[in-house]
Chain A
């Protein structure tokens, strides 16, 4: 067992959310420890689709749309900062993104959803449009005959999320963050203004605490007076062999990585903590992708996998601070890639200062789930 160590902040969870926050905390001079589970952890950070995505987010919570736009705007500078510091190019690109429709009905539904989204009071204005088939074809000449149109948003983009994960870990450790793997947390006590964290790898003490353990936050939250109602939601992904670049834009379900492989995905399943892949969902994903881009049928599939999103009832993130254990925070979302820039550059400095301003963050509190259901 290691001896007790003292830090300004202990971040529980070393995935994209935890490492982005730890990186941002270290940037503003905090002494930080990251307590991470072992390699058996459910790592959404290694299984995600790697979009930096804006369009369609925030129906029901316009503040979430604004938060997403802000991260999208910050992403370019964030990627540059990581590359300057670590030498790792996370291949951030922001050419705008498409959501393709395979029938007139799909296109109408798409337009209705986006209109409702943008008609919300307090919705931040940004560009988006519905394009007919001909306009889509000018941008994506390889579309198949079933594509009738698309929604397009110039704020959308994508990255190499595995390199992002590596850059954050390399970067935070260069900034002096103590990374503690195999430190699955068993218990947290708050005593005399200090957090005492018991873990598989020993005890760690800190003045502040950030829960960034994904689906693990549901278990950890109550230890510090936080309610974090999250559940796993499975997504499956298929990836092809590397091909010469042919897709100039990311599509919400199909994107070509900087290294040439084509990722196909975007399924949603309620399957508990079961990260297995099923041929039914995989074939549906492949079928829709080939209808969008018929030439994809020529490529060999080299891998498929499933990963577990961290999902709330309304699909929006939770950012909260504890009323009973001052200094304890929680950050959890299903868009750890898109929101990484915000977590590092906007959220971390607020945590370092000890407070999430309520005018901005009250809306993201889990207290929104405590309203009794209407009769």
Chain B
């Protein structure tokens, strides 16, 4: 669905999403990496369990909450991707311990 611009940088990084390897580009946010990889949701909502994907991409809408390196409810659009990062789809409410 999303395509990268032709002049996007070509430095690639590797992260995992729910344990599966995903390729990112240096300068991506975690949310952009997931969208570019065709992952269609990053969380399910805490009350109804509906799937949600990144939306505003600028820190406002809080749709892109996900578990990043073991910490829940992080805004994926505000976190720059790093090599080796472990991302997980967040299922419903955040666990207090993470």
Contact surface of A with B, Cβ cutoff 8 Å: 142, 241-246, 259-260, 295-296, 298-300
B8 at the interface (CB under 8 A from A): no
Contact (A300, B93) CB under 8 Å given A242-B46, A259-B46, A260-B46: no
User: Given A259-B46, A259-B47, do A241 and B94 touch, yes or no (CB 8 Å)?
Assistant: yes
Nearest 8 A/B pairs, CB to CB? A242-B46, A244-B93, A260-B93, A246-B96, A244-B95, A242-B93, A295-B96, A243-B94
Contact residues in A for B73 (Cβ distance below 8 Å):
241, 300
B94: chain A residues at CB < 8 Å are 241-244, 299
Q: Which residue of A is nearest B95, CB measured?
A: A244
- Closest CB-CB distance, B47 to chain A, in whole Å? 5
Residues of A within 8 A of B5 (CB): none
Q: Check A243–B47 contact: CB distance below 8 A.
A: no
Q: Which residues of B are in contact with A by a Cβ distance under 8 Å?
A: 46-47, 73, 92-98
Find the residue from A244, A260, A295, A299 having the highest chain B CB count within 10 A. Answer: A244
B93 partner, pick from A243, A296, A298, beta carbons under 8 A: A243
Can you list 17 residue pairs at the A/B interface with Cβ under 8 Å? A142-B96, A241-B73, A242-B46, A242-B94, A243-B94, A243-B96, A244-B92, A244-B93, A244-B94, A244-B96, A246-B96, A260-B46, A295-B96, A296-B96, A298-B97, A299-B94, A300-B73
A226 CB → nearest B CB, Å: 43
Task: Please measure, in the bound complex, the distance between the C-alpha atom of A300 and the C-alpha atom of B93, giving whole angstroms.
Answer: 13
Instruction: Report the bound CA distance from A233 to B94 in whole Å.
Output: 34
What residue of chain A has the Cβ atom nearest to residue B73's Cβ? A241
- Bound-complex Cα distance A142 to B46 (A): 22
Known: A242-B46, A259-B47, A260-B46. A299 touches B93 (CB 8 A): no
Q: How distant is the Cα of A259 from the Cα of B93 in the complex, in angstroms?
A: 9
Query: When chains A and B are docked, how far (Å) is the Cα of A162 from the Cα of B17?
Result: 37
Of the candidates A243, A295, A296, A299, the one having the most CB atoms from chain B within 10 angstroms of its own CB is A243
- Tell me the smallest distance from the CB of B61 to a CB of chain A, in Å: 13
Give the chain B neighbours of A245 by CB distance below 8 A.
93
Q: How far is the CB of A271 from chain B (nearest CB, A)?
A: 31
* Docked CA distance A142–B95 (Å): 13
Chain B min CB distance to A166 (Å): 15
Q: Which residues of B contact A260 (CB under 8 A)?
A: 46-47, 93
How far, in Å, is A241 (CB) from chain B's closest CB?
5
Known contacts A259-B47, A295-B96, then 10 further A-B pairs from the complex at CB < 8 Å, ordered by chain A residue: A241-B94, A242-B46, A242-B47, A243-B94, A243-B95, A243-B96, A244-B94, A260-B47, A299-B94, A299-B96
- Whether A295 lies near B93 (C-beta < 8 A) is no
